[in-house]
Amino acid sequence: MDHKSPLVDSKHRICVSQLDLPPRLLLGPGPSNYDSRVRHALSANEIGHLDPKFIDLMNETQELLRYVWQTDNPFTIPVSGTGSAAMEAAIANCVEPGDVVLVGVNGYFGERLCDMASIYGADVRRIEKSWGDVFTLDEIGEALEKHRPSLLGLIHAETATGAMQPMDGIGKLCREFKSLLLLDTVTSLGGVPVFLDRWHVDVAYSGSQKCLSCPPGIAPLTLGPRAIEKLNSRKTKVANWYLDMSLVGKYWGAERTYHHTAPVNMNFALREALRIIAEEGLENRWERHLTNSKALWEGLEEIGIGLHVDEDWRLPTLTTALVPDGVDAKAVIGYLLNNFNIEISGAFGPLAGKVWRIGLMGHNSRHENVLLLIAALKEALKAA
C-alpha cells in the first residue's frame, strides 16, 4: 500500500477499494436513473448556502416546483431529506395533538401516514380499501361527514400497489367540511397529471428520486394558504425542530435566516432535474409516461404476465405485474439484476410474492427500456 495514503491502520483492518458500481437500470419503485446533466450539477463546485448566487438558484427552484405542481403557493420548497422527511414535515406542521386526522389507507404509504399522524398526537381515523383499489368520491364524502376531520390525507400514487387515486371533487368536499387536504405526490409528480390548485390541495409533498429523476435526498413540500393559516394559528409548537416550517420558512423566505445548512449540491441537482422537466413540458412528459406504460402493459400481457390494478385507475409510473403461478418472484428479480443489470422490485404486505413492481419513472420512461425489460423477463421466466 502507498505509504502516503494509508487506507487502514493497525486497529482498523478493513480493505476499502475504490468505488466500482455496476451500471444498473433502475426499473423498480425508485430510485430512478437520472440525466447526465443532473449528475453534472451534483458535482458542480461548492458555494455557500447563504451566497447571493445560491439564493438566486433557490428562487428559481421554487418557481420550477410551482410549475411542476401547478400551484401558486408561495411556500413551495425542497426539504433537506428524502420523501419521508417531507411527509413528516407535512404532518408535523399541519397536525396538532387531538386533531382528528382521516387517512385513506389502500396500501403501505397510507399506513405510514397514519403512523406519523399518531406520533404527532392526532386522533387517527381510517378509511380502507384493498391494496390495488382506490376510493370513490362518495366513500370519501361519507367518511368526511362521519369523522369531521381537520385533515384528510390521501396517497395520489400508491407505490406499494400501482393504483392512482382519482382527485376530481375531493378538494371541494374538503372545503365544505372545513378539512385540510393533504396529498402524497411522491410517485406522481413529474410523471402523471397533478393540478394542486385546481384540485384544492392544501399540503403536498414529493420525493426527488422517483419521477423527477434526481438522486434521493431532497424532497419538495408545498403549503397552501389554508395550511399556512393552520401553522400560524397553532396552540402548540411544531414537535420537530428540524422540520418546523415556521423556522425553515425564514431561510426560504425574505429573511434568509440560517436554520440548517442546505444540502447545496442536492439543490443544484434538483434544479437541473426540474429544468429538464420544464424543457420537455409537463403535458409531453405525462404523455410519454402513459405511452410507454401502455407498451409495457401490452408487452407483459403478451408474455403471459397479468396486471394487478384495474386499467381505470392503473398508475402509469409504477406497474404491479402478477407473478405467474409456480414462478419464484425473488429468483426472477435476482436473474434480471445479475444477468441484465436491471432492477425491479418485489412487493410487501398482502401483495408480497404475488406481484413485481416495475417503475417507468421520469428519465427511465423510454421505449427502449420497455423492450429490453420484456426481452429480459422472457428469458428470466424461461430460466425460472
Ligand X SMILES: *Cc1c(COP(=O)(O)O)cnc(C)c1O
Count of residues that interact with ligand X, criterion CB under 6 A: 13
Prior bond to 324 cis, omega within 30? no
177 binds ligand X per the rule CB under 6 A: no
Contact (Cβ atoms closer than 8 angstroms) between residue 228 and residue 221: no
Query: Rounded CA gap, 373 and 237, in Å?
Result: 49
The residue (of 73 and 187) whose beta carbon lies closer to ligand X is 187
CB of 76 to ligand X, least distance (A): 18
Residues 84-113 binding ligand X (CB under 6 A) are: 84, 87, 109
Binding mask 118-137 for ligand X (x = CB under 6 A): --------------------
Give the nearer residue to ligand X in terms of CB position, either 79 or 262.
79
Q: Least separation, in Å, of the C-beta of 343 and ligand X?
A: 15
- For residues 30 and 249, which CB has a smaller minimum distance to ligand X in the complex? 30
DSSP assignment letter at 344? -
76: enclosing H helix or E strand: strand 75-80
* Site membership for ligand X, residue 82 (CB under 6 A): yes
**30 CA to centre of own chain:** 8
224 part of the interface to ligand X, by CB under 6 A: no
Identified binder of ligand X from the candidate list 164, 186, 245, 315, rule CB under 6 A: 186
Closest CB 112 distance from ligand X, rounded Å:
7
Task: Please state the closest distance from residue 279 (CB atom) to ligand X, in A.
Answer: 24
Residues 138-167 within binding reach of ligand X (CB under 6 A): 155, 159
Among 357, 359, 361, 362, residue whose Cα is nearest residue 160: 357
Q: Interface with ligand X includes 34 (CB under 6 A)?
A: no
The whole-angstrom separation of Cα 264 and Cα 277 is 20
Of residues 271-330, those binding ligand X (CB under 6 A): none
DSSP track, 189-240 = TTTS---TTTTT-SEEE--SSSTT-S-SSEEEEEE-HHHHHHHHT-SS--S-
Q: Which of 251, 248, 196, 247 is nearest to 225 (CA)?
A: 196
Task: Of 70, 62, 75, give the one whose Cα is nearest residue 227.
Answer: 75
Q: Which is nearer to ligand X, 189 or 228 (CB)?
A: 189
Largest CA distance in the chain: 73
Q: Does 216 help bind ligand X (rule: CB under 6 A)? A: yes
Q: By CB under 6 A, is residue 187 in contact with ligand X?
A: yes
Beta pairing, strands 355-359 & 318-322: antiparallel
To the nearest whole angstrom, how small is the minimum distance from the Cβ of residue 291 to ligand X?
22
CB of 110 to ligand X, least distance (A): 9
Which residues would be at the binding site for ligand X (CB under 6 A)? 30, 82-84, 87, 109, 155, 159, 184, 186-187, 207, 216
